[in-house]
Chain A
Amino acid sequence: SQTIHQWPATLVQPVGSPLSLECTVEGTSNPNLYWYRQAAGRGLQLLFYSVGIGQISSEVPQNLSASRPQDRQFILSSKKLLLSDSGFYLCAWSLTVNGYEQYFGPGTRLTVT
C-alpha cells in the first residue's frame, strides 16, 4: 500500500532563517506530487506541483521554492522565511493530475517568529 511521509511534524523558525520541508511517498512510482499551504481558517492553497523528476510548476509567486530530486521525494524550501510563511504545509500525491484522488500527508505546522 502507498504511504506518504512528511517531516518535521512541527517547526518553529525565526524570520530570515532557511527552510527545508521534506515529503516522501512509498508504494507507488511516478506519482504527481503537490505542496499546499493552509493558513488558519482558510482553504488549501496549492503552492507547487510536479509531474516528474525535476519538473516543478509554481502556482503563486512567493518566497518559497520546490524541488524534486528523486521520483518519490518532494522538497519545499526557502532561503529566508517571512512571518507570512507561517501555516500548515501539506504534501499530497496522486496517480494522475486530475482524474484520481489526491492523498495527503500528515502535514507540517510551521511557525515563523
Chain B
Amino acid sequence: KNQVEQSPQSLIILEGKNCTLQCNYTVSPFSNLRWYKQDTGRGPVSLTIMTFSENTKSNGRYTATLDADTKQSSLHITASQLSDSASYICVVSAISFQKLVFGTGTRLLVSP
C-alpha cells in the first residue's frame, strides 16, 4: 500500500533553534518527493522537490534530504523564525499513477 508517514506529529521549538522533520514512505515506483509548507487556513506552498537521483536540496533556511534506498526524507529548518510556524507536508509521487500521496503533516510551532 502506498503510504507516507511523518514524524513528529507536532513540535514546539524556541525561536532561533534548528529542527528536523521526518518522512518515511512506501510509494513505489518512486518518482519524486516534495515538501510543502501550509500556513493555517491557506493552501500548501512548495518548499522543495527532489527526484530519485537527488539526495539534498536547499531553499533558504530549509534543507531537504532524500535517501531513496531507505525511503526516508527529512526537512531541516535552520535558525527558526516565528513565521516558520505552520504544517509541513511530505508528498510522494509514483511513476505509474497520476496522483500524489500526502503525509498528514507535522505541525510546527515556533515560540518566542
**Cross-chain contact A101 with B34 (CB below 8 angstroms):** yes
**Cross-chain contact B98 with A97 (CB below 8 angstroms):** yes
A15 to B105, CA, bound (A): 30
Interface size for B (C-beta < 8 A) is 24
A74 at the B interface (CB under 8 A): no
**Cross-chain contact B42 with A106 (CB below 8 angstroms):** yes
A46 at the B interface (CB under 8 A): yes
Query: Contacts A46-B99, A97-B98, A99-B32 hold; do A107 and B89 have CB atoms under 8 A apart?
Result: no
**Cross-chain contact B104 with A107 (CB below 8 angstroms):** no
Contacts of A88 in B (CB 8 A): 41
A42 to B4, CA, bound (A): 13
| Chain A residues within 8 Å of B, Cβ to Cβ | 32, 41-46, 49, 51, 57, 59, 88, 90, 92, 97-99, 101-107, 109
